[in-house]
Chain A
Amino acid sequence: MQMNNYLISISIRNLARQKRRNFFLGLAIAIGMMILVISNAFTNGISDVMFNRIMRWVTGHVTISFNEKGNIRREVCRDRERMISAIMESDGETVSEIDESIGTFAKAIGNGSADNIILVAVDLSKSVDAKKLKETEESFKMVEGSFYDLKRTDIENAAILSEEKARYLNVRKNDVIRLRFRNIYGQDQAARLTVTGIMKNSNIFMQPVVFSEMSNVRHVMGFRPWETGNINVVLKNPKKDAVALADRIHEKLTPGRAIIYGTLAYAGNSTPVAVTGYRSDNESLAKLAGILEPSGNSEIKKDGAFISAKLAKRMGINSGSRVLVNYPNKFEEKSSVFPIKITGTFNGDINDNLIIVNEADFYNAYYDNLPRVSPENTAPAFSLAETHPLSALLATEWILLKRTANTDELKKKYQDMGKQKWKATLVDVRTMYESASDILKLEGVLNIITFSAVLVLFFIILIGVINTLRMTIKERTREIGTIRAIGMQKSDVRAIFILESFFLTLISCLAGIALAFITMRLLSLVHFEMQDNPMGMLLIQNHLHFMPSSGGIVFNLLLILLMAVATAYFPARRAAGLSPANALRHYE
Chain B
Amino acid sequence: MKYLSVILACAVFAAPLAAESMVTAILKSIEDQMKMKTDIKANVTLTQQKAEQGTKLIEMVYFRRDSDDSFLIVMQSPENEKGNGYLRVGENFWMYRKNTRTFQHINRDESIGGSDAKGDDFEQRNLTELYAPALDAGGKEIVSEEMLGKVPVSRLEIKAIVNDVDYPRKIYWVRRDNNLILKEESYALSGTLMQTVYFVKYTVIDGRYVAVKHIYIDEFEKGNKTIVDISNIQTNKLDNSLFTKAYLENLSK
Contact = CB atoms under 8 A, between A and B. Distances in A.
Interface of A: 71-73, 107, 109, 114, 178, 180, 182-183, 185-191, 220, 222, 302, 364, 368, 418-419, 421
A71 B164 CA distance: 13
Contact of A187 (B105, B107, B168, B195): B168
B20 interface: no
A182 B165 contact: no
A189 B164 contact: no
Contact of A418 (B105, B166, B221): B105
B92 A189 contact: no
State the main secondary structure of chain A at its contact with B: mixed
A180 B221 contact: yes
A187 B189 contact: yes
A419 B105 contact: yes
A188 B109 contact: no
Interface in B83-135: 91-92, 105, 107, 109
Given A109-B220, A187-B167, A364 B162 contact: yes
A189 B188 contact: yes
B52 A188 contact: no
Nearest to A114: B221
Contacts of B105: 418-419
Contacts of A180: 194, 220-221
Given A185-B163, A187-B189, A419-B105, 14 more contacts: A71-B109, A73-B107, A178-B220, A180-B194, A180-B221, A187-B163, A188-B188, A188-B194, A190-B194, A191-B190, A220-B190, A302-B91, A364-B162, A418-B105
Nearest to A109: B221
Nearest to B165: A187
A187 B162 contact: no
Nearest to B109: A186
Contact of A190 (B91, B107, B166, B192): B192
Interface string B44-84: 00000001100000000000000000000000000000000
Given A186-B164, A187-B189, A421 B91 contact: yes
Interface of B: 51-52, 91-92, 105, 107, 109, 160, 162-168, 186, 188-190, 192, 194-195, 220-221
Contacts of A302: 91
27 contacts: A71-B107, A71-B109, A73-B107, A73-B109, A107-B221, A114-B52, A114-B221, A178-B220, A183-B189, A185-B163, A186-B164, A186-B166, A188-B166, A188-B167, A188-B186, A188-B194, A188-B195, A189-B189, A190-B190, A190-B192, A220-B190, A222-B189, A302-B91, A364-B162, A418-B105, A419-B105, A421-B92
Contacts of B109: 71, 73, 182, 186
State the main secondary structure of chain B at its contact with A: loop
Listed residue (A178, A180, A220) with the most chain B CB atoms within 10 angstroms of its CB: A180
Nearest to A182: B109
Nearest to A222: B189
Nearest to A219: B190
Nearest to B194: A188
A165 B221 CA distance: 18
A73 B119 CA distance: 15
A180 B220 CA distance: 8
Given A109-B220, A190-B220, A185 B164 contact: yes
B171 to A, nearest CB: 15
A239 B160 CA distance: 48
A98 to B, nearest CB: 27
Nearest to A186: B109
B188 A187 contact: yes
B187 to A, nearest CB: 9
A178 B221 CA distance: 9
A67 to B, nearest CB: 11
Contacts of B190: 189-191, 220
Contacts of A114: 51-52, 221
A71 B91 CA distance: 13
Contacts of B167: 187-188
A187 B188 CA distance: 8
A326 to B, nearest CB: 17
Nearest to A420: B105
B221 A187 contact: no
Contacts of A178: 220
A544 to B, nearest CB: 39
Contacts of B165: 187
Contacts of A182: 109
A421 to B, nearest CB: 4
A116 to B, nearest CB: 12
Listed residue (B160, B163, B165) with the most chain A CB atoms within 10 angstroms of its CB: B163
Contacts of A418: 105
A191 B221 CA distance: 13
Contacts of A190: 188, 190, 192, 194, 220
Nearest to B107: A71
B221 to A, nearest CB: 6
B219 to A, nearest CB: 10
A277 to B, nearest CB: 16
A183 B163 CA distance: 10
Contacts of B163: 185-187, 368
B206 to A, nearest CB: 28
Contacts of A189: 188-190
A71 B93 CA distance: 13
Listed residue (A187, A188, A302, A421) with the most chain B CB atoms within 10 angstroms of its CB: A188
Nearest to A221: B189
B174 to A, nearest CB: 22
B20 to A, nearest CB: 19
Q: 7 closest pairs, A vs B, by CB?
A: A185-B163, A190-B192, A421-B91, A190-B188, A418-B105, A189-B188, A180-B220
Nearest to B224: A114
A187 B191 CA distance: 13
